[in-house]
Structure 1
Amino acid sequence: MFRHQGKSRTVKHNLRIATILSFVAGMVNVTGYLAFKQLTTNVTGHFALFIYDLANFNFWKGTIYFLYIFSFLFGSFLSSFLIEFFSETKRLNVFVLPTLIECIVLITIGIISDFIEMRYVNLLICLLLFAMGLQNSFVTKISNAVVRTTHLTGLFTDLGIDLSLLCFPKLESKRKELKTNIKLRVFIIIFFFSGGLTAGFFYSKLDLKLNSLIFAALILIVSLFFDDFRYQVIKRRRKFTQKKTAKKAKIHLLKHNQ
């Protein structure tokens, strides 16, 4: 699901990556809000507050919201830059590095919260927004803009449009495609919601606080390793099948020549 791109990418690949990343985003969203009372997976609200502060000449206060927006933007930029750079060199799976950086950010915040007093709250919020910018960028590129996982506004808009189109008989030929899109969007919403519930339970009931982010990172790491393991198994199976087929063809050719 992290490797396939373009024509080789299927609905199953998009469903798998959508469920995992939306669950992680839901965890980050709720953990960030419970810890800092700020949104940490999208910048829509921050942009509105930034404009509000500027309109009231609170430039210094507005700078904080600008940094939030810039952090998300920089995460998106860095993710796309790394993907394009390694696509040209073809040295590794191009989506591994952005995912690992996101994991490092989440784990680091979780670990340092156990040893350091949370004085630099705005810096931590910027780091979480940076991580979500990374995620939103690489999932957009890997799915060719089909999957978005860090916020739900566009998802509910697209879901409403797709549901309305099902009401028109003249679009019967597109019914299968519409149902596939609806299924994908519903899965993302459900898993985002589930991730939020899980984070709320970990943060409040188990009193893990920001350590909840470590579990979100572990989900990503396990998914990466499982995806790579599955890819290697499929690759070796194909090679074995090809060798077996070639061997049979060779034996058949020898018998035919005799």
Structure 2
Amino acid sequence: MSGLIIKWASKYRSHNSYIFPISLEIGIMLSISLTCFLASTWDQKYPSVIASALLFSMGLQNALVTKVSQSVVRTTHLTGLFTDLGIELSQLLFYKENAVHKSIRMSIFLKTMIISGFFLGGMLGGLGYQHFQLKILLLPVVMLLVALWYDRLLFRYYHLKRKFSDSTS
């Protein structure tokens, strides 16, 4: 679904085609969280609906990150990340060229950060759920909104920078 949305959106606005799947993800999490505010037993009555919606949202996120990173980053496959990390750690012993060594180290750092994010997110999510139930979903909603805002800010900055550099040359 995420790939389909990105492909469709890129025909019309290629620089921000990712906004639609992120907005859908935000909408899903916000709906679940707000419904739990309004009907406190909703999460106990419809756990399958909530699980399905959150799994769909997670799939959107995984496909989006995979597409945007051109399959460099996978955000829901820890076993693959650990496998790739092990392979790259062993490659450090065999490749001595600086450029290759630097590339491998950067890839190891990226995978280590993603794995750390999984564990940190899992712990904080579990603790947050104990205290706030599904209202904790407001935290990733806010984080995604901030990411969209920041990306828009960067886009405008680079657009203006390009505009002024073209006018001065």
1:193 deviates by 1.8
Aligned to 1:220, which of 144, 148, 156?
A: 144
Runs in 1 of length 4+ with deviation above 3 angstroms? Answer: none
Matching of residue 87 in structure 1 with residue 27 in structure 2: no
Highest Rg: 1 or 2? Answer: 1
1:178 deviates by 0.9
1:162 deviates by 0.5
Counterpart CA distance in 1 for 2:65 and 2:139 is: 20
Check whether the contact 1:86–1:92 (CA below 8 A) recurs between aligned residues. no
Q: After superposition, what is the alpha-carbon deviation per residue over 1:133-178, rounded to whole angstroms, capped at 9, x for unaligned?
A: 101111101101001112311111110110011122xx22321211
Partner of 1:9: none
Counterpart CA distance in 2 for 1:91 and 1:197 is: 36
Q: Comparing both structures, which one devotes a greater share of its residues to helix?
A: 2
Aligned to 2:45, which of 100, 103, 119?
A: 119
Structure 1: runs of 5 or more not aligned:
1-77, 247-258
Letter in 2 for 1:230: L
Partner of 2:155: 231
Counterpart CA distance in 2 for 1:128 and 1:151 is: 16
Counterpart CA distance in 2 for 1:151 and 1:121 is: 24
Q: After superposition, what is the alpha-carbon deviation per residue over 1:94-150, rounded to whole angstroms, capped at 9, x for unaligned?
A: 100000100111111111122332211111101010001101111101101001112
Aligned to 2:118, which of 151, 172, 192?
A: 192
Counterpart CA distance in 1 for 2:153 and 2:123 is: 30
Letter in 2 for 1:209: Q
| Equivalences, count | 164
Q: CA RMSD in A?
A: 1.5
Matching of residue 241 in structure 1 with residue 165 in structure 2: yes
Counterpart CA distance in 2 for 1:217 and 1:152 is: 23
User: Percent of aligned pairs with the same residue?
Assistant: 37
Counterpart CA distance in 1 for 2:154 and 2:17 is: 17
Aligned to 1:101, which of 16, 20, 24?
A: 24
Partner of 2:56: 130
Counterpart CA distance in 1 for 2:78 and 2:34 is: 29
Matching of residue 141 in structure 1 with residue 64 in structure 2: no
Counterpart CA distance in 1 for 2:120 and 2:87 is: 24
If the length of structure 1 is used for normalisation, what is the TM-score?
Answer: 0.60
Structure 2: runs of 5 or more not aligned:
none
Counterpart CA distance in 1 for 2:87 and 2:6 is: 31
Q: How does 1:23-102 map to 2 (within 5 A)?
A: 78-90=1-13, 93-102=16-25
1:91 deviates by 6.4
Partner of 1:249: none
